[in-house]
Amino acid sequence: MREIGIPHPRLPLPAPGQDDDPARFLAWLGEAIPLVGHLGIRRMTRDDRELTWELELTPSLNDKGTAFGGALTAQATLLGWCWTTLWLRRHSLARDVVVAEASQRFLAPVTGDYRMVCFPEREEGPVSLAEQLAARGRGRIALVQQLWCGDTLCLEARGDYAVLGGS
């Protein structure tokens, strides 16, 4: 049971050269952030550039029978946080990540299960983040989140994620 004001223990870093097991990371995330269990995340996949969630619509239904914008906003924000956290973990860094700024554009109603994809806004974003961390011990990266329902782009979000200095 989570307690207010008490940080949740970090997930141990993967061994150097190893990636996080997606199921293990999602299980930890659900313990660390109780809301995660209610978001309808069915699957998480990751490559060098993108982090993708496959989600069920049902937990995010609104009164019109489509997705509730507030739920989508929370999912997009958290997906960016996860992208940044997993990038840090891949580089053997245990750091705190916070969203510094976020915006979204709703382009079409979400009428079925969907996928959200997160990637750096600029191709050089991860390299720039690594340079900032090496020089100052903290940094920032701009990420894009897109929500696709089939072949339809329904939401495009953008967020700046700050990596705080190490302790």
Q: What's the mean pLDDT when you consider all of the chain?
A: 95
CATH number 2.70.98.10 given to 22-163: no
Q: What is the pLDDT of residue 167?
A: 57
Q: Over range 88-107, report the average pLDDT.
A: 96
Q: Over range 29-52, report the average pLDDT.
A: 94
Nearest Cα to Cα of residue 46 among 23, 73, 15, 69: 23
CA distance 59 to 39: 6
Q: What is the pLDDT of residue 91?
A: 93
For residue 157, pLDDT beyond 70: yes
Q: Over range 110-129, report the average pLDDT.
A: 98
For residue 63, pLDDT beyond 80: yes
Residues 126-147: pLDDT tens digits?
Answer: 999 999 999 999 999 999 999 9
Nearest Cα to Cα of residue 163 among 122, 121, 124, 135: 135
**Structural contact between residues 157 and 73, judged by C-beta atoms closer than 8 angstroms:** yes
